[in-house]
Structure 1
Amino acid sequence: MSIATIDPSGGLTRDNLRSLLVAVCAERGLDPDGAELIKFTNNAVFRLRASPVVVRIAGSTAARDRAETVVKVARWLATHDFPAVRLLAGPEQPIRLHGQVITLWEHVPETGARPGGAELAVLLQRLHALPRPPAGLPNWRPMEEVRQRLAEPEELDAGDHAFLLGECDEIEEQLARLRFALPPGLIHGDAFVGNLIAGPRGAVLCDFDGTAIGPREWDLAPVAVGRLRLDYAIDDHAMLVKHYGVDVTEWDGFPALRRLRELKLVTSVLPILRSNPGIRAQWEHRMRTFRARDLTTRWQPYR
């Protein structure tokens, strides 16, 4: 497939992702042969075989719009020697190529034990204590991203679409009434164990698409919701509470944050529902139970 046929509004498939990978590697003098697609949800992530490089291709308008923030945060964290993934040294990033937005990263070899809630708590404490966040960091506006995804869904039933738009309105009203207990500040925005890498020198934080200035409670919510909703074998929430010192589930605003987190877990893959058919069954399961207000049925990670 020619790069010219890739729709810049979305619609990335495994085939045209490969074409895009070849193009960006050619531009930057990298070898794409044998590259492995290790993730394809709201972003597509390739690990190169010939060099320790990770190629991250934004999979939606929301992800493309956040790329500048991702780069800014990554560079700022590097100045503080924070344990996080590092951008590949060299020409300016993000890379804009054929209507798509791409970032290149140093590959972190996964050599240690699986990081869990304790490691995440330590990194969040350190992140929340960093001085002077980078200028121009956006304020936390979670519905902006959700609505962007709802504006470009692939094969979404009209009834489900209307329901999800209604959820946005209702949750937004709930959030406006919340009185947060913790002081606001820099937040990661998607702080769960899946965004930790077991690096040679300890856990490393990645994925800064949601980084913003906002309520610290939001950084504690993903792991709490994961314990309640996702079919995980390990209770990372208990360790997060022990080491961070706050149990967000005991705060009276947690039900609203849970509803928001579950809405995001349902809508995160809307722009690639057709492009990545392997996630369809799990998405339908999530959508069905979320729409039924079923708070007990377990979900599985997208694979």
Structure 2
Amino acid sequence: MDCRSPAALLAEACAAAGRPSTGAELIRAGENTLWRLPGQVVVRIGRPGQTAVAVRELTVARWLRAHRVPAVRPLADPPEPIVVHGRPVTFWHELPPHRHATAPELAAALRRLHQLPPPEAELGTIDPFVRLAARIDGAATLDAPQRAWLHGRLAELRTAWTELDHSAQPLTVVHGDAWGGNLAVTAAAAYLLDFERTALGPPAWDLTSTAVAHDSFGSLTAPGYAAFCAAYGADVTEWSGYPVFRAIRELRLALYALQQAATTPDRHRAQAHYRLACLRGEHGPRPWRWTALD
């Protein structure tokens, strides 16, 4: 295991890029670590072994710029990720002050994204199950029966995904993690960001994130969801495959909470295990009123 501090990794990456790290401010430390450098530059340090993902993020950002779609913009130099102790490091122009997008703003951005011709570079197809088995195995607050149930549920949903008629929806470029926090709205424009999961896939995958906010959790009102559907031009909940997409999205969000509970149980264990209990039918029908993790 690499025990270097985030600051040490940043200093080494900046040195390799010929850029000073003095005066850097930590923005967020998590699976990916973000730093702000003087001169309105943001440094993104990815997870170990994720260099291909970082390359794809740069590819998608440049492809969007070529189509005049507002998106976070990587620096021209270095043109590729710098790999420091197995972790890819990329450098980006900082966005101006911004807020999260509203549901209609997100819908408009997704509609435009889904209409674009795919880039020539290979993006691969969406994998809605990426890292889920590892999250189950790494969830330290689970007991053996809970872990077994989750692995069984994951297997069921893999089968259900495979059996869907995906030909009913032509593949497009999908964001992969389409929620309001990944569309930064400034005074001038709405910028797409965080392309870690961007790939070719059914547009319904992007739309499901907002649908479950209304359908599963009640965090988006009925008028708010209606406005989202009107701005996009479709309601994903009317599609026969939606319940499968919804169930996968719910599982992903529950396992993310369990992952957080493994490192900060005092803050996240209660919410993580409430989400698990909901999936197991112990808190009645939807909506379940899950709360956001801090």
TM over 0.5: yes
Equivalent position to 1:257, from 245, 254, 279: 245
Unpaired runs of 5+ in structure 2?
Answer: none
Q: Helix, strand or coil for the counterpart of 2:229?
A: helix
1:240 maps to: 228
The alignment's TM-score, normalised by the length of structure 1, stands at 0.82
Aligned pair 1:143/2:129, yes or no? Answer: yes
Alpha-carbon RMSD? 2.8
Equivalent position to 1:57, from 30, 35, 45: 45
1:197 maps to: 184
Q: Which amino acid aligns with 1:25?
A: C
Shift of 1:182: 3.3
Shift of 1:90: 0.5
Hey, what's the Cα distance between the residues in 2 that align with 1:290 and 1:64?
34
Change (3 A) 1:98 1:254: same
1:219-253, CA deviations, whole angstroms, 9 ceiling, x for partnerless residues?
11001112233463666432220111110112221
1:36 maps to: 26
Hey, what's the Cα distance between the residues in 1 that align with 2:207 and 2:196?
17
Determine which structure has greater relative contact order: mean sequence separation of CA pairs < 8 Å that are 6+ residues apart, divided by chain length. Answer: 1
2:140 maps to: 155
Change (3 A) 1:175 1:274: closer
2:288 maps to: 297
Shift of 1:156: 4.8
Hey, what's the Cα distance between the residues in 2 that align with 1:240 and 1:190?
16
Q: Which amino acid aligns with 1:223?
A: T
Percent of paired sites with the same residue: 34
Question: How many residues end up aligned between the 2 structures?
Answer: 287
Change (3 A) 1:185 1:26: same
Aligned pair 1:23/2:9, yes or no? Answer: no
Shift of 1:279: 4.2
Change (3 A) 1:293 1:213: farther
Hey, what's the Cα distance between the residues in 2 that align with 1:230 and 1:25?
42
Contact preservation (8 Å) 1:231, 1:300? no
Q: Helix, strand or coil for the counterpart of 1:66?
A: helix
Shift of 1:23: 3.0
Contact preservation (8 Å) 2:100, 2:180? no
1:9 maps to: none
Contact preservation (8 Å) 2:100, 2:181? no
Pick which of 67-76 and 272-281 moved more: 272-281
1:173-226, CA deviations, whole angstroms, 9 ceiling, x for partnerless residues?
111222354322211111111211112321111111111111111111001112
1:122-173, CA deviations, whole angstroms, 9 ceiling, x for partnerless residues?
211211111232321111222234235446x252534333222212210011
Contact preservation (8 Å) 1:175, 1:256? yes
The alignment's TM-score, normalised by the length of structure 2, stands at 0.85
Change (3 A) 1:292 1:46: farther
1:227 maps to: 214
Shift of 1:275: 4.4
1:184 maps to: 171
Equivalent position to 1:266, from 226, 233, 254: 254
Shift of 1:280: 4.3
1:31-72, CA deviations, whole angstroms, 9 ceiling, x for partnerless residues?
3535133363x4333334x231222222466x5552222222
Pick which of 290-299 and 136-145 moved more: 290-299
Contact preservation (8 Å) 1:25, 1:31? yes
Q: Which amino acid aligns with 1:301?
A: A
Shift of 1:4: 5.2
